[in-house]
Amino acid sequence: MSEALLQLADVHTHIAQYHILQGVDLTVPKGGITVLLGRNGAGKTTTLRTIMGLWHASRGSVRFEGGDITHSPTPDIASAGIAYVPESMGIFSDLTVRENLFLAARSVKSADQMDEARLEWIFGFFGALKKFWNQPAGTLSGGQKQMVAIARAIVEPRKLILIDEPTKGLAPAIIQGMIAAFRELKQTETILLVEQNFSFVAALGDSVAVMDGGRIVHSGSMAELAADKDLQHRLLGLSLDTHQ
Amino acid sequence: MTAISHAAPQDAALPKVKVDVLPLLLVPLLALLMLPLVGSFPTWVTLTVAGLAMGMMVFMMASGLTLIFGLMDVLNFGHGAFVSVGAFTATLALLPMKSWVEADSVLMNLSVLGLAILLAMLVTGILGWAFERIIIRPVYGLHLKQILITMGGMIVAEQLIHVIWGAEQIPLQLPTTFRGAFIFGDAALEKYRLIAVGVGLTVFVTMFLVLNRTKVGLLIRAGVENGEMVEALGYRIRRLFVGVFMAGSALAGLGGVMWGLYKETLTAAIGGEITVLVFIVIIIGGLGSVGGCFIGAMLVALVANYAGFLAPKVALVSDILLMVMVLLWRPQGLYPVAKR
Ligand SMILES: Nc1ncnc2c1ncn2[C@@H]1O[C@H](COP(=O)(O)OP(=O)(O)O)[C@@H](O)[C@H]1O
Ligand SMILES: [Mg+2]
């Protein structure tokens, strides 16, 4: 395994009086896709939010490129190079697709200065964005909104992209398009991908971690988990594959 | 790609961009409806212009408040303090420079008014910064405390005005150029009202351009919808909020100057008195919506003027009635703002 880009060590997170994360140990190596699996309520979203500084760990540490970001404010974590695609997508519905991407492109002062070549690269797998470029994002379909959300995360080079259940509620045909997009993305990006849909990630993921009850209960290579039906059954039960 | 996918309806209709025009139509509709009721065309013109002028001034006071709420969920019942402080600060230029106010020179009149406005906006802007820091910041997310402490801030501001300027009401004189009226046939249009409309439109267009054409403006609109996501994109929402709070306070100060000159007398309660109207406006408009606030302000002021003429007894409650009617139609206001 290559060097660790992100490392969570014994992370505990409380939301109000609830003890949600109960000692998460998670390593995301540089490059490719690390998949975070686990049934509903396991703590996957809370883990991403804790990395992003939207919740703060009450114990343990989050290290990014060796630096401690456990207590950093969210904008600093974003500026350090972590992008976030939340479960709810967080689209700005009044703003056009173009304006949504412009705000994500922190380094440019006007929308015209966005990197054309990079935009074309994004349109290459999310063609709908080009078509709806000047439409308010709120008028798009669920799948197209998800494309906007992911495009925002990659509109400029980032070091790590956190994506929370991008296939949730999407039609199978659209999911196929997403798979193609992720296959292209993983050539250059590092992604921590939360999914419930095992069939979606089995062929995509490089490494995998499985959560349950606010802890990581398994981590290893995706190839190993994909080949071992018994292990899948034991870790994931029936709750995951029923999706598709 | 297969031939089939090429033949697929690649030009399937774009999703319709819904421009919600109904609220926009309310203002002309209301005005036209009132024409037969008022009966006389010149009177109707005068009432309508008076209503629009008042609406513009209320818009200046309300526009900042609606964004302050939209961006940080802050209920600022002390917003009226900036109206009062703005109006009183203007007297620091208007009273000593009385000769400029009374001079028969457009240039001198404009200069003294411009100076008064600049001074008022500067002072209320800076005061807004301090108010946010000292009074608002400790109560982020706590609505009840916000209401109590900002009302307290309002009372303190009124008392400070009494201390500095005395308890007597201060007569304010309009600069010579802006006095009187243009006569068109039988209709008299007071010059100052036209100026108020002009200033109000300038503020509205400027805000519109900032909110639609600049990165800061887009961030404000994005922040109203989902502040957390704005932070996750790497921007500090607090810093944005402080800027909006200062600008909103300065605009309230501007509204105060304009309003004080309109009434031609000043009391410390000027801001408190208008606060109820301002809240009605931002509720009608849809909390967080500048466009809604603009239409709401026009509606509220027009209704107040028509009602004052047609049925003075109803006038007292006309704006409440208007609010109830709008909310029955659209419970979130004319332009509901999407919230995460
Ligand atoms: N805002 C919250 N307040 C209270 N409990 C929460 C909140 N958010 C999540 N939880 C709880 O934390 C646990 C983990 O949630 P989450 O991280 O969203 O799980 P997952 O994303 O794996 O489905 C769940 O039991 C959920 O009910
Ligand atoms: Mg989740």
Q: Above 0.85 for ipTM, yes or no?
A: yes
The band of B18, judged by pLDDT with boundaries at 50, 70 and 90, is: low
The band of B184, judged by pLDDT with boundaries at 50, 70 and 90, is: confident
If you measure from the C-alpha of residue A48 to the centroid of ligand 2, how many angstroms do you get, rounded to a whole number?
A: 9
In terms of DSSP bridges, do strands A18-29 and A4-15 run parallel, antiparallel, or are they unpaired? antiparallel
Using CB distances shorter than 6 Å, the residues near ligand 1 are A 15-16, 18, 20, 38, 40-46
With CA atoms as reference, the chain A residue closest to B222 would be: A92
Tell me the mean pLDDT in the region B174-181. 92
Q: Residue B13 pLDDT more than 70?
A: no
Structure token digits, residue B78: 């002390």
Q: Name which of A78, A93, A140 is nearest B234 (Cβ-Cβ).
A: A78
Q: Residue A244 pLDDT more than 90?
A: no
Q: Summarize pLDDT for A205-226 with one digit per residue, the tens.
A: 999 999 999 999 999 999 999 8
Distance CA B237, CA A77 (A): 14
Q: Summarize pLDDT for B278-300 with one digit per residue, the tens.
A: 999 999 999 999 999 999 999 99
Share of chain B above pLDDT 90, in %: 84
Distance CA B104, CA B173 (A): 14
Q: Determine the pLDDT at residue A3.
A: 73
3-state percent helix, strand, coil for chain B, nearest multiple of 5: 75, 5, 20
Residue A32 near residue A186 (C-beta atoms within 8 A): yes
Share of chain A above pLDDT 70, in %: 96
Q: Determine the pLDDT at residue B147.
A: 93
A76-80, B14-18, B72-76 — which is least confidently predicted? B14-18
Q: Determine the pLDDT at residue B83.
A: 97
Question: DSSP character for A136?
Answer: B
Nearest atom in ligand 1 to the alpha carbon of residue A44 is 22
Element (H, E) at B226: helix B215-232
Residue B154 near residue B146 (C-beta atoms within 8 A): no
Q: Determine the pLDDT at residue A177.
A: 86
Structure token digits, residue A47: 């883990």
Contacts with B327 (C-beta within 8 Å, 6 or more apart), sequence order: B283, B284, B333
Tell me the mean pLDDT in the region A161-183. 90
- Is B232–A86 a contact, with Cβ atoms under 8 angstroms apart? yes
A58-67, A152-161, B306-315 — which is least confidently predicted? B306-315
Q: How far is CA B31 from the centre of its chain?
A: 20
- For testing the chain B interface, which of A94, A99, A107, A156 should be mutated: the one with the most B CBs within 10 Å? A94
Q: Residue B339 pLDDT more than 60?
A: yes
The band of B3, judged by pLDDT with boundaries at 50, 70 and 90, is: very low
If you measure from the C-alpha of residue A209 to the centroid of ligand 2, how many angstroms do you get, rounded to a whole number?
A: 15
- Is A104–B232 a contact, with Cβ atoms under 8 angstroms apart? no
- List chain A domain ranges: 90-157
Q: Buried b / exposed e across A85-95, counting CB within 10 Å, b at 16+?
A: bbbbbbbbbbb
Contacts with B68 (C-beta within 8 Å, 6 or more apart), sequence order: B74, B76, B79, B241, B244, B245, B248
Average pLDDT for chain A: 92
Q: Summarize pLDDT for A37-62 with one digit per residue, the tens.
A: 998 999 999 999 999 999 999 999 99
The band of A241, judged by pLDDT with boundaries at 50, 70 and 90, is: very low
Tell me the mean pLDDT in the region B303-308. 94
Question: What are A179's strand-pairing partners?
Answer: none
Q: Which residue has the higher pLDDT, A197 or B178?
A: B178
In terms of DSSP bridges, do strands A190-194 and A160-164 run parallel, antiparallel, or are they unpaired? parallel
In terms of DSSP bridges, do strands A4-15 and A160-164 run parallel, antiparallel, or are they unpaired? unpaired
Question: DSSP character for B18?
Answer: -
Tell me the mean pLDDT in the region B127-155. 93
Crossing angle of helices B106-131/B79-94, nearest 10°?
140
Q: Summarize pLDDT for A66-93 with one digit per residue, the tens.
A: 999 999 999 999 999 999 999 999 999 9
Q: Which residue has the higher pLDDT, B18 or B294?
A: B294
Q: Summarize pLDDT for B88-135 with one digit per residue, the tens.
A: 999 999 999 999 999 999 999 999 999 999 999 999 999 999 999 999
* Of residues A96, A106, A200, A205, the one with CA closest to residue A153: A106
Average pLDDT for chain B: 91
The band of B14, judged by pLDDT with boundaries at 50, 70 and 90, is: low
What does chain A come to in residues? Answer: 244
Q: Determine the pLDDT at residue B141.
A: 87
| Ligand 1: residue whose CA is nearest its atom 25 | A41
How far CA A28 is from CA of A135, A192, A204, A207, A211, in Å, comes to 36, 7, 15, 8, 14
Q: Does B221 touch chain A (CB under 8 A)?
A: yes
Q: Does B98 touch chain A (CB under 8 A)?
A: no
Distance CA A145, CA B53 (A): 42
Distance CA A77, CA B231 (A): 9
Q: Determine the pLDDT at residue B295.
A: 96
- List chain B domain ranges: 47-268
Query: Torsion angle of alpha carbons A222, A225, A228, A233, nearest 10°?
Result: -140
Structure token digits, residue B300: 């509220």
Contacts with B302 (C-beta within 8 Å, 6 or more apart), sequence order: B27, B30, B31, B34, B48, B51, B52, B55
Handedness of CA B20, B24, B30, B33 (dihedral sign): negative
